[in-house]
Amino acid sequence: MESNLQKYLQFIEDSVKAVRFPEKPASLYEPMSYILRLGGKRMRPVLTLMACDAFGSDYKNAQNAALAVELFHNFSLIHDDIMDKAPLRRGEQTVHTRWNENTAILSGDALLIEAYKLLLTYDAGKSQSLIKLFNTTATEVCEGQQYDMDFESRTVVSIPEYLDMIRLKTAVLLGCSLQMGAILSNASAENQTDIYHFGVNLGIAFQLQDDILDLYADQAKFGKQIGGDIRSNKKTYLVLKAFEDATPDQHKALSALIQEKESDQKVTNAVALFATLHIKEKAMAKMNEFYTTAMKNLAHLQISEEHKKPFYELASFLMNREN
């Protein structure tokens, strides 16, 4: 897979580099080129190419659909960064910081429209199928972002609510990216459903792993500071699960912990409190639950084992990371 993954990655990097927007108005189009050139893992477009390949068509046919999901992802990053008041993205200034908020709003809008243009380059029937899926997904991503913002100002968020939020905000776009490749390869409706759910379940597992790594990664291998979520009082699966399982005394201790200001001690205290509640183990169990479901989705898929291999390898690659 490693070599195929490299092939898809190279292809999508070349494709992104070839994207050209009009020159004027520069204040609209430059930020769009800027965010696309910032890089990123290009995970979503790779999924589209991979699925198109696995279901038997030339992955290059999926170029514009793959670019569309990448453009959509970047649209959501521009707007999310405004909402989160994030100064940096991939180590560089965010669009609203480098330009201003108005430019970031409008460039984001224009990027979303560009994604639709790319999806319209296929024949009418295919375009309609792609855009239908894309519309549903795009709405869900907005819902997920809204829930994420709503949760910040709420004191109680249940585990099912949290899981639904990460499904909407992150996971459905992975499912959509895969299904788009399947659509372009004329996969059966059943295979499309399976590969979609594989992406969604893997996406939720991936996001739970993110929560776990943030506190329990090996600092030597982890790119960021350990415990960033605890330091910034983010309501991750770990914290919400701890609140859910806490005795009244532990609940009080956890509430007090959250009031503490950012420090290494705060992180140490969280690790200690979580240990008494076996939060790491519970989070890993939940992650494995979604991972196992994703594996079942793959097993159910009606294609040869040979063609499933890249998906198994992708899943294993994603779930065995240390950063």
- Residue 191 contacts residue 57 (beta carbons within 8 Å): no
Q: Is 139 in the site for a copy of itself (CB under 8 A)?
A: yes
Q: Is 285 in the site for a copy of itself (CB under 8 A)?
A: no
State the DSSP H helix or E strand holding residue 234, giving kind and residue range, or none if neither.
Answer: none
Binding test (CB under 8 A) with a copy of itself, winner from 18, 20, 41, 124: 124
Q: Is 179 in the site for a copy of itself (CB under 8 A)?
A: no
With CB under 8 A, what is the number of residues at the site for a copy of itself?
Answer: 37
Name the residue nearer to a copy of itself (CB basis): 120 or 159: 120
**Site map for a copy of itself, 85-104, x if CB under 8 A?**
----------------xxx-
Q: Is 117 in the site for a copy of itself (CB under 8 A)?
A: yes
Q: Is 250 in the site for a copy of itself (CB under 8 A)?
A: no
Q: Is 149 in the site for a copy of itself (CB under 8 A)?
A: yes
Which residues, including other chains, have CB under 8 Å from residue 75's CB and lie 6 or more apart? 108, 109, 111, 112, 115
φ/ψ of 159, rounded to 5, equals -60, -45
Name the residue nearer to a copy of itself (CB basis): 134 or 274: 134
Sole residue written with tokens 């477009």: 45
Exposure b/e, 171-207, CB count within 10 A at least 16 = b: bbbbbbbbbbbbbbbebeeebbbbbbbbbbbbbbbbb
- Residue 37 contacts residue 70 (beta carbons within 8 Å): no
DSSP 59: G
Q: How far is the CB of 67 from a copy of itself (least distance, A)?
A: 15
Number of H helices, E strands in the chain: 16, 2
Given the rule CB under 8 A, which of 5-13, 145-153, 241-249, 290-298 is the region that contacts a copy of itself? 145-153
DSSP 261: P
Q: Is 218 in the site for a copy of itself (CB under 8 A)?
A: no
Exposed/middle/buried for residue 165 (C-beta within 10 Å: 0-12, 13-18, 19+)? buried
Which residues, including other chains, have CB under 8 Å from residue 108's CB and lie 6 or more apart? 75, 76, 78, 79, 82, 95
Tokens of 13: 């990097």
Residue 89 bridge partners (DSSP): 92
Binding test (CB under 8 A) with a copy of itself, winner from 145, 170, 191, 201: 145
Binding test (CB under 8 A) with a copy of itself, winner from 116, 216, 222, 312: 116
Binding test (CB under 8 A) with a copy of itself, winner from 3, 25, 160, 323: 25
DSSP 170: I
Q: How far is the CB of 2 from a copy of itself (least distance, A)?
A: 36
Q: Is 19 in the site for a copy of itself (CB under 8 A)?
A: no
Q: Is 160 in the site for a copy of itself (CB under 8 A)?
A: no
Given the rule CB under 8 A, which of 105-113, 227-235, 249-257, 307-315 is the region that contacts a copy of itself? 105-113
Binding test (CB under 8 A) with a copy of itself, winner from 5, 110, 253, 284: 110
List interacting residues with a copy of itself (CB under 8 A): 24-25, 27-28, 79, 82-83, 101-103, 105-106, 108-110, 112-114, 116-117, 120, 124-125, 127-128, 131-132, 135, 138-139, 142-143, 145-147, 149-150
